[in-house]
Amino acid sequence: MLRIYNTLTRKKEEFSPIKDKLVTMYSCGPTVYNYAHIGNLRTYIFTDLVRRVLQYNGYKIKGVMNITDVGHLMEDSDDGEDKMIKASREQKKTPLEIAKYYTSVFFEDLKKLNIQKPEVIPKATEHISDMIKYVEALMEQGYAYETSDGIYFDISKFPEYGKLSGINLEEQQAGARVEVNLEKKSPYDFALWKKAEPGHIMQWESPWGMGYPGWHIECSVMSQKYLGTYFDIHSGGVDHIPIHHENEIAQNEALTKKPSVKYWMHGEFMLVDNGKMSKSLGNVYTISQLEEKGFEPLDFRFFCLNAHYRKKLNFTFDGLKAAKVSRERLIQSLYLHKTSNQKTAEEKLEKYRAEFMDAINDDINIPLALGILFSMVKETKSQDIYKLALEFDKVLGLDLDKLPPPKNQTDIPQDILDLVEKRTEAKKRKDFALADSIRDQINQKGYSVVDTRDGVVVNKLES
Ligand code: AMP
Ligand code: ZN
């Protein structure tokens, strides 16, 4: 039984989809004004793990992830310039060129990290008329009002506002920040549509003159268009809980008067050197930058897999190095399993299979699942274990089916591997005399054999 933590109810709940075996899932996608950084990518890895765990449980998935190519202002709370326009000015390119370029790099990053592509990837700029209709409906039903600079959602008309983050609006308003827009009825009212100032380079015709959509309306419109007014899972990073997702709920549920999402899931943040990532600190890394420093993208995926998605994860280069070494050990050890001709008892395999399933089904506990894989590879080398590891890899996404022979294991002849196996068996039986004599035979044939924490390593001796 799969259980997941629902941000809305603040507890782990049994997962049961709205409709049979098809899970409908929406994830907030990137604002394509810049490269995705490793923090963003942690969140996409988290969503990918949720997808893979669902698939492992036999569910089919209809996943939607939007591309925000207009409307996301510098502050999530509708202040500042549009991120796309700022990038367009700074890089002297049109917003379309900016969006196209960063969207394609984003997809390359996903591919490098073995993140599955969602089934539908809608762009905000291709859904403007749907957004206008949605805002009109909110206006007609009295949930929105017009000011000189746009159309705003009136949160006083939606008493449940704040239910996701548990924010107490009365307390908040007492100490509220100074509101720049004096026409707003409440500082928490948010823009559904903005009127374009003269010279604004992204604008569309609307009943309220030329303008562009607010960021939050994009997600409501695109999720409902492709998944309906009630769908299973909505995911994103924790920073989206208090503003973006609160606002999505208000927009969705004002019109339908019923819940819009069954399970809200949020991934915790990635920190760098225990602090926030910021351009001014020069610690906003991309996957390509990690590659330039000699890491493989899957080292980063493996690094992320070692922390539960609801825990903060502190990125350091030492931590990434440790992950790299640990992944190499796993690969070396699995290679020995792959090349073994021994068998493992079915009960033992079943035990690992069950433990792995329990771990992933306990709110996607991937670190625990990885621990189970690591215990499993310490068992006597056998192809059965290798095959089970490949099953687990459907969730982990570490390309364990594409094991390169570990550098020092290349071209080790089968007779040597057989002797290594016999020696391991002898050691297990505590027949150390036999183990030593087999080691001597291996040495005489020109190979060394060393026991490491993660298994046996064989090398060709230098002649
Ligand atoms: P954005 O493109 O800014 O909308 O962000 C894309 C995704 O990355 C969102 O789901 C954010 O919640 C998430 N995100 C942003 N910064 C971090 C971070 N430091 N750690 C983890 N996720 C993040
Ligand atoms: Zn969103």
Q: Residue 411 above 80 pLDDT?
A: no
Structural domain that includes position 104:
3-267
Answer with the one of 234, 252, 267 that is the final residue of a domain: 267
420-445 pLDDT per residue, tens: 999 989 998 999 999 999 999 998 99
- Please indicate whether residue 184, judged by its CB atom, sits closer than 6 Å to ligand 1: no
The residue whose CB lies within 8 Å of the most ligand 1 atoms, and thus the one to mutate among 31, 43, 304, is: 43
Nearest residue CA, atom 17 of ligand 1? Answer: 39
175-213 pLDDT per residue, tens: 555 566 789 999 899 999 999 987 788 899 999 999 999
442 vs 436: CA distance, rounded Å = 10
Q: Which of 19-23, 171-175, 242-246 has the lowest mean pLDDT?
A: 171-175
Answer with the one of 267, 293, 322 that is the final residue of a domain: 267
Rounded to the nearest 5°, which phi and psi values hold at 105? -65, -40
Q: How far is the centre of ligand 2, averaged over its atoms, from the C-alpha of 94 (Å)?
A: 24
Q: Is residue 128 part of a domain?
A: yes
Rounded to the nearest 5°, which phi and psi values hold at 271? -105, 160
> Who's near 371: CB < 8 A, 6+ residues apart?
359
Q: Is residue 438 part of a domain?
A: yes
Q: Residue 452 above 70 pLDDT?
A: no
Q: Is residue 319 part of a domain?
A: no
In the predicted model, what is the mean pLDDT of residues 83-93? Answer: 83
- Collapsed DSSP state (helix, strand, coil) of residue 191: strand
Q: Is residue 155 part of a domain?
A: yes
Answer with the one of 248, 267, 286 that is the final residue of a domain: 267
Nearest residue CA, atom 18 of ligand 1? Answer: 39
Q: Residue 1 above 80 pLDDT?
A: yes
The residue whose CB lies within 8 Å of the most ligand 1 atoms, and thus the one to mutate among 40, 49, 241, is: 40
241-288 pLDDT per residue, tens: 999 999 999 999 999 999 999 999 999 999 999 999 877 778 899 999
355 vs 337: CA distance, rounded Å = 20
Q: Residue 350 above 70 pLDDT?
A: yes
Q: Is residue 147 part of a domain?
A: yes
Query: Which atom, in ligand 1's list, is nearest to the CA of 42?
Result: 21
Rounded to the nearest 5°, which phi and psi values hold at 373? -60, -40
Q: Which amino acid is at 126?
A: E
71 vs 85: CA distance, rounded Å = 9
Q: Which amino acid is at 261?
A: V
Alpha-helical runs (H) found in 192-273 = 215-227, 246-256
322 vs 319: CA distance, rounded Å = 5
Q: Which of 22-36, 127-141, 178-192, 200-214 has the lowest mean pLDDT?
A: 178-192
Instruction: Provide the number of structural domains found in the chain.
Output: 2
30 vs 65: CA distance, rounded Å = 9
> Who's near 32: CB < 8 A, 6+ residues apart?
67, 68, 69, 84, 98, 99, 102, 103, 106
Among the bound ligands, the one closest to the CA of 84: 1
Q: Are 33 and 242 in contact (CB under 8 A)?
A: no
- Please indicate whether residue 223, judged by its CB atom, sits closer than 6 Å to ligand 1: no
Query: Which atom, in ligand 1's list, is nearest to the CA of 29?
Result: 6
- Please indicate whether residue 38, judged by its CB atom, sits closer than 6 Å to ligand 1: no
Q: How far is the centre of ligand 2, averaged over its atoms, from the C-alpha of 28 (Å)?
A: 4
Query: Which atom, in ligand 1's list, is nearest to the CA of 27?
Result: 10
Rounded to the nearest 5°, which phi and psi values hold at 452? -115, 175
Q: What is the pLDDT of residue 175?
A: 54
Q: pTM to 2 decimals?
A: 0.87
In the predicted model, what is the mean pLDDT of residues 220-239? Answer: 98
CATH (domain of 156): 3.40.50.620
Q: How far is the centre of ligand 2, averaged over its atoms, from the C-alpha of 244 (Å)?
A: 6
Token pair of 364, please?
A: 């996607």
The contacts found for 285-289 with CB under 8 angstroms, 24 or more apart, are: 285/37, 285/38, 285/315, 286/35, 286/36, 286/37, 286/38, 286/109, 287/36, 287/38, 287/41, 287/109, 287/112, 287/113, 288/35
pLDDT band at 449 (very low <50, low <70, confident <90, very high): confident
Q: Is residue 273 part of a domain?
A: no
Q: What is the mean pLDDT of the chain?
A: 91
Q: Is residue 215 part of a domain?
A: yes
Q: Is residue 189 part of a domain?
A: yes
Q: Which of 304-313, 315-324, 453-462 has the lowest mean pLDDT?
A: 453-462
- Please indicate whether residue 17, judged by its CB atom, sits closer than 6 Å to ligand 1: no
- Please indicate whether residue 34, judged by its CB atom, sits closer than 6 Å to ligand 1: no
Among the bound ligands, the one closest to the CA of 284: 1
Alpha-helical runs (H) found in 92-127 = 95-112
Query: Which atom, in ligand 1's list, is nearest to the CA of 31?
Result: 2
Q: Residue 48 above 90 pLDDT?
A: yes
